Amino acid sequence: MVKTKVIEENDEKIRILLTDTDRAFVNSIRRSLISDTPKMAIDTVRFEMGTFEIDGEVWETDGPIPDEMIAQRLAMLPIPTRHDEFYFQDSCPTCSELVVEDRGCPLCTMLFTCKTFGSEEGKMVTAGDLSFLGEEGLSILEKYRPIPITKLFRGQMIEFYATAVMGRGRDHAKWSPVCGIAFTPRYIGVINIKSRAKILWDLGLNITAKDFGSDGRLEDIDKVAQLIDDLHHVGEGTEEGREFKDAVALEEVPREFILSFETDGSMTARVAFEKAIQELSGRFGNIKEDFEAVL
């Protein structure tokens, strides 16, 4: 049975120690995080086009960048995702039996609007200018509202309606909630030759001889990460490396891996991990059912 332990965590980033497993399984989690974890993202945008006269001043919807580029930027905004409140459109209780063009209800679709005017010195249109037509708690989070979309000057304006729906990263990158995802084996530090290890300690970096136990082994995960950085200073190609010769080495711990990733802000890192595991479990369950039906 695979065991998990959270090493480091905040809303956007997480590091997890996975034990009693192998590379194939950890990689399947990585792929599930990228491709299978459900996420809300803006899918369609309707731009209002034309010339408008307001208080005797003429405004035109002719911003400096094409509408297609603005739509692409909107698609990558971190839309708050609540998996227990929204459905995929093809499984929505209200819309699943409708044709694709007619789908879109409060259970499967989020609607955003934006109407902004430029200024003489230039007005930056950001994610904060989008208004969600619904519960205020589902608006784009405060920390992401400064994300720029376009810049408008005097006489320029932009007006559009955008709809966000649930999707998966395997269909489009905008539905992938994670980035910077990677996993490595867990290592421990081992002192092989104490006299030569002094070369590393004398550099005055992060790790010292006191960090190692009486058995000459360093197992603390965070300190091992610092040790890995320190060893670059005595590795191949360095002057010290000629005498150091692996006086302190790294040993791989069998069947233990460290998985780390960040989210785009649409959900917490923990939620992304839990949903990825849930999706993966469902897939394995389907495979088991298929085997039982055949055998």
Model confidence pLDDT, tens digit, residues 244-282: 989 999 999 999 999 999 999 999 999 999 999 999 888
- Checking if the pLDDT of 195 tops 60, the result is yes
Distance, CA of 112 to CA of 130 (rounded, Å):
6
Neighbour-count burial of 242, counting CB atoms closer than 10 A to its CB (0-12 exposed, 13-18 middle, 19+ buried): exposed
Tens digit of each residue's pLDDT (9 = 90 or more) over 284-293: 766 556 555 5
- State the average pLDDT over residues 168-195: 96
Architecture of the structural domain at 3-36+179-262: 2-Layer Sandwich (3.30)
- Checking if the pLDDT of 295 tops 60, the result is no
Q: What pLDDT score does 285 carry?
A: 66
Q: What pLDDT score does 291 carry?
A: 52
Helix (H, G, I), strand (E, B) or coil at 92: coil
pLDDT band with cut points at 50, 70 and 90 for residue 53: confident
Distance, CA of 132 to CA of 138 (rounded, Å):
7
Terminal CA-CA length for the chain: 25
224-233: long-range contacts, CB 8 A cutoff, minimum separation 24:
224/186, 224/187, 224/188, 224/189, 224/250, 227/189, 228/187, 229/205, 230/200, 230/203, 230/205, 230/206, 231/200, 233/200, 233/203, 233/205
Please name the residues in contact with 61: beta carbons below 8 A apart, sequence gap of 6 or more: 47, 48, 49, 50, 51, 156, 157, 158, 159
Nearest to 175 by CA among 75, 71, 278: 75
- Checking if the pLDDT of 1 tops 90, the result is no
- Checking if the pLDDT of 185 tops 90, the result is yes
Tens digit of each residue's pLDDT (9 = 90 or more) over 30-40: 999 999 999 99
Element (H, E) at 279: helix 269-294
- State the average pLDDT over residues 54-64: 87
Please name the residues in contact with 82: beta carbons below 8 A apart, sequence gap of 6 or more: 138
What percent of the chain clears pLDDT 70, i.e. is strictly above it? Answer: 96
Nearest to 110 by CA among 72, 178, 161, 175: 161
- Across the chain, mean pLDDT equals 93
User: Where does the chain hold its CATH 2.170.120.12 domain(s)?
Assistant: 40-172
Please name the residues in contact with 34: beta carbons below 8 A apart, sequence gap of 6 or more: 169, 176, 178, 181
Q: What pLDDT score does 201 carry?
A: 96
Q: What pLDDT score does 52 carry?
A: 85
pLDDT band with cut points at 50, 70 and 90 for residue 54: confident
pLDDT band with cut points at 50, 70 and 90 for residue 137: confident
Locus of tokens 């930056």: 124
**Residue 153 has what DSSP assignment?**
B
* C-alpha of 295 from chain center: 40
Nearest to 161 by CA among 70, 98, 241, 38: 70
- State the average pLDDT over residues 209-222: 94
- State the average pLDDT over residues 205-214: 94
- Checking if the pLDDT of 183 tops 80, the result is yes
- State the average pLDDT over residues 234-240: 92
- State the average pLDDT over residues 183-189: 97
- Report whether CATH 2.170.120.12 matches the domain 40-172: yes
